[in-house]
Structures are given as structure tokens and as C-alpha cells.
Amino acid sequence: MKFKISSFIKAILGTAAIITITIPNIAIAAENSTNEQITFVRLTSEQHRNSIRDIFGESIIVDGDAGSVGVREEGLMAVGGRRLTLSASEVESYEVLALDIASQVLDPARRATLLTCLPEDASKVDDTCASEFIDRVGLHLFRRPLSNDEIDAYAAMAKTAAQNLGSFYSGLQAALVGMMVSPDFLFRIERSVPNPELPGTRRLDAWSRASRLSFFLWNTTPNPTLLEAARSGDLMFEAGLNRQIETMMLSPRIEDGLRAFFSDMLAFDRFKTLDIDSNLFPKFTKNVEDEAREQTLRTISHHLLNKEADYRELLNSRETFLTPALAALYSVPIPIHQELGGRVPWVPYEYSEDHMRIGLLGQATFLSLFSHPGASSPTLRGKAVREHLLCQTIPPPPGDVDFSLVRNADHPDFKTVRDRLAQHRDNPTCAGCHMLMDPIGLALEIFDASGVYRTTENGVEIDTGGEWVGQEYTDIRELAVLLKNDPTLTSCLVQRAYNYGTAREPTRAEVQWLNTMHLQLREEGVRWRELIKRISSNPDFYTVPEIVSTED
């Protein structure tokens, strides 16, 4: 894939200087002449934003998202990120962002903190100072040292722009924009080296290890300490690697990594297209939607990081956090503490033992994300549990299925969706999959599409009973316990966490040790810190599987 950068650089450097960057058009990997395997994983919008923040400071405003939503593979956007390239319009969007960021970075008020040298004359070229800036900033943007050729190329870009525009800083700005629209920044480029411990195999080089670790644990670019560990070679050795992991685990940034993982695993990308009909569900305002998302992340973060509790208990935990609007949606009382500055006051809340609204499945996030705009959907909810929590795959419905009965909420004979789905399952083509999905979702029918509690549908009492792997349940509370005890729940988490960190499916050998680790964790307690520590400290996490070209 080729794309040209950039209209801005073209304008200031002249037509002859247009740079064409080539990204190897590979879905998984490419091999160069030295047999080095290189893989590309596109940064998510959040990772792009976090990187800019961490490199240039929190005062830099990243005004917008440039990249498309992406694709989900193996249940994760992170794995799909390996399939992503950049369209011409996305490059243009990144360029607009880069221009804005570069102008902020080199603003007279900020430049002194980022430049370690000053030009003798700000209206003229200063190659030495420009090269120093490019070398230093490039290390953080590309997450590896720049080669001399790269430094020279960007310095030449800065020089031409400075000459054309009569400003040293405008020259730097051009070079900075060039670096920020480079694939080396927008993609996590993982390079491999021969693995001396297992001759014939390859493993990530130290710089790529730093990136993989940092984006996995912190969802951001490696910090100077990690880059230094890469430079020194510490990351290539068990002791040095574990030292860095231990340090990173102690950082509050670990929560960023957790939030990013669960946002991916629980399909929060659906929020971008969520369209619960506020005419039918007026309590579900945009604010409530945003707060519901935050409620789920706060609940998970508190449970897994603050309490260091077992992941399984998230299914039937009664502890959560609420805002006034969420409490109104759920119709529960919360103490009101006004906060200065108009901040949303989050309040810890615990439901009673007999309350129906428990666990992640009782939160508005899950209930709304897997509903239709105008009605709840037992099928979508059941499918989501199977696919996102249990790593199972439900095939799509055949193209000629008639859904009119299921969607006819005013049907005179089938007043509840349970009745309508039962009729729908009379079609043998549909029955197989619906038997897998519907019973789970029907247990959640006491919550409408917005998450508001209800006891009846069209005047008929809602029946939430069902069966899970031969065991009957009467309501969401009993179902949550059955799901919690199902080993598929935890094996799915382990698998997803590993796939998320590596942005690929595990190899057969990796599956074996993941299974072993899963069994150990089930005995010891499935705790998030322990899980990501074991994954990130395992040599397999940095092994580069042999790639079989799909183009042959």
C-alpha cells in the first residue's frame, strides 16, 4: 500500500519533495531480505491520543479521532488492528491532527520545554539543532531510535521548510508533522530477531518488546524508563523484563490498560452507533449513556484492581458506582453530595442480596449495547454473552429468515418476546442457534432496552427462567452464578487477554500453556494483575510465530 504525504508538506517543500511512504501490503507480516519478520498493528484512537499526551504533555489537545473504528477479529478489535492499513482519507485526517498538534508543541509558550537547543537565528536554518530535536522526539514517536538516514531525511525536510517559510520553528513543525503521519508512529511495527534460546525461531527485538508491554499494560507508548530498558537490552532477559513488569504493575496507568482491554472485549465500540430510542426510553439520555459506560469500567476497575477480586465475581457482584442520573435510571436511592465545579458525583453503591440488578449483565451498558433501538433483544443479549464472555461463535442467521413475528411487539396472541421467540424457533433453521442464545437473554428481559427494570411485558408477567448446561435457573441471579462457575468464562478471559496483548491468535503451543495457566488461575483465583503478569512475563508472549504467506 502506498500513500503520499502530505498536502501540507507538499505546500512548503515544493512538488519535487513529495515523500512517498510505502507500507508493505501485508495482512499479517512481511519478510525482508534479512529474513526479519515485521508486523504492523495500527494504533487505536485512544492509543494515539495517549501517546501524544505522554510524549508532549497533557496540555496538548488532540482535537478529534482520525482513524476508522476498525474491525473485530477473534472477538477483539486489537486483533483486527493487525489487518488495518490506512485509507487516503485517514492519512489526511491524521495529517490535520498532526498539524494542529505540531503547532501546539512548537508554540512559543511550550517550545522551550521541548527543545534542548536554540537556533542562533530563529528565522534561519539550524541543522544541528533540528537534528537534535528530531533524534530526541523521534525516539518517542517511533518507539525506537531513528537511523542516521531517517534523521537526515527529516532534518532535510525541516531545512527546506525553514528556508521556504523563513522560520526555524516552521521547519521543525514540518518535520514533526512528517513523523506524526509516518507509519512508524501510526502503527506499532514489531520487528523480530533470531531467538538464541530456541534456534530456528524468532522473537521480538527489545524495542518491539517495550511497545508490546506498554500498549498491553498501559495502553500507551513506552515511557523513557522502558525505552532505556530496551536500549540497554534488559528487556531481552528474564530478570530485566520482570523488573520492568513489576514496576509497571505498580503504576496507576495499569488501570488505563485494563479499561482499554475490557472496552475491547465487551465491544464498547458499539457505543459509537448505539441508538436507543429516547422517545421510547426517555431516561436514556446521552449523559446517561456516557455514564453507563463509565459505570461498567469503574466497576471492573474497582473489582479487579482496587479489591484484587476474582474476575468471576463480576458476574454476580452487587457493588458498583452510580451517578444521580444512573440511580434514577435504575430507580435506586443514592446520597447526593454536591461537588464543586459541576463534576459528576460518583457514589459507591451496593445492591441488596435479593435485588435483581447484579453483575455486569445488570448494567445499562450491556443491556443497551445488545438491544434494538426500540426494544430489548434476548437474542442479541444471549449472543453477546456467548461471544464476548464465553468466546463462542454463533453463526449469522440465514438471509431469508422472516423476523416479522419476533419483532411484532403488538401481536395479540404472543404478548411477550418469550412467546414470539418460541414461535420463531418452530422454524428448524432458526432453532439451533436460538436455543443457544435466547435462554440467556430471556433471563435479562426484566430490563428493557435502556436498562430500566420492569416486571411485565404488555401486561404479562415476565418469565426469566431457563436452563444452562442442564441446570435450571429462575432468574438472572441464579443464571449469573451458573455462568460464574462455568470454566468457559475464565478460559475466555485468559485467551482474550493473550490475544489482545499479542494482537493475534495464539499458536497451538501457546494454547497449551494458556490452558495450563487457566487451570492454575481457577485454583488460585482469577485475578487480573496475576493474569497479565503471567502473560507478559512468559517468553511465548514475545515469540514471533512463523508466518505462512496467505498470498501464495
Q: Which residues bind other proteins (CB under 8 A)?
A: 278-279, 281-285, 324-325, 327-338, 349-356, 453, 455
- CB 282 → other proteins: shortest distance, Å? 4
Peptide bond into 45 cis (omega under 30): no
| Closest CB 419 distance from other proteins, rounded Å | 23
Shorter beta-carbon distance to other proteins: residue 238 or 275? 275
Q: Which three cell numbers stand for residue 488?
A: 468457559
Least separation in angstroms between CB 484 and other proteins: 21
Q: How far is CA 383 from CA 55, 387, 388, 394, 438, in A?
A: 40, 6, 8, 7, 8
Distance CA 538, CA 532 (A): 10
Q: What's the min distance (Å) between Cβ of 343 and other proteins?
A: 13
CA distance 427 to 144: 58
Q: Which is nearer to other proteins, 200 or 459 (CB)?
A: 459
Q: Closest separation between CB of residue 339 and other proteins, Å?
A: 11
* Sequence-ordered list of residues with C-beta below 8 angstroms from that of 130, at least 6 positions apart, any chain: 155, 158, 159, 162, 168, 171, 172, 175
| Integer Cα distance of 156 and 116 in angstroms | 19
Closer CB to other proteins, residue 263 or residue 323? 323
- Nearest distance from C-beta of residue 330 to other proteins, angstroms: 8
**Quick one: CA torsion of 9, 132, 86, 257, rounded to 10 degrees?**
-140
Least Å from the CB of residue 269 to other proteins:
23
The side-by-side arrangement of strands in the sheet containing 30-31 is 30-31, 37-42, 187-194, 202-204, 543-544
- Nearer to other proteins by Cβ, of 131 and 464: the residue is 464
CB 462 to other proteins: min, Å: 12
* Paired sense of beta strands 543-544 and 202-204, if any: antiparallel
Question: Which CB sits closer to other proteins, 153 or 328?
Answer: 328
What residues pair up with 322 in beta bridges, in sequence order?
A: 347
- Closer residue to other proteins (CB): 193 or 327: 327
- Residue 62 C-alpha cell reads as 488532540
CA distance 213 to 532: 10
Q: At 496, which helix (H) or strand (E)? A: helix 487-502
Q: Among 174, 128, 124, which residue's Cα sits nearest to residue 152?
A: 128
CA 295-296-298 angle, 5° bins: 65
Instruction: State which residue, 335 or 470, has the beta carbon closest to other proteins.
Output: 335
- What is the nearest approach in angstroms of other proteins to the Cβ of residue 353? 8
Indicate the residue among 333 and 396 with the shorter CB distance to other proteins: 333
Please, which residue, 13 or 443, has the CB nearer to other proteins?
A: 443
**Other CB atoms closer than 10 Å to residue 121's CB: what's the count?**
9
The SS3 of residue 507 is: coil
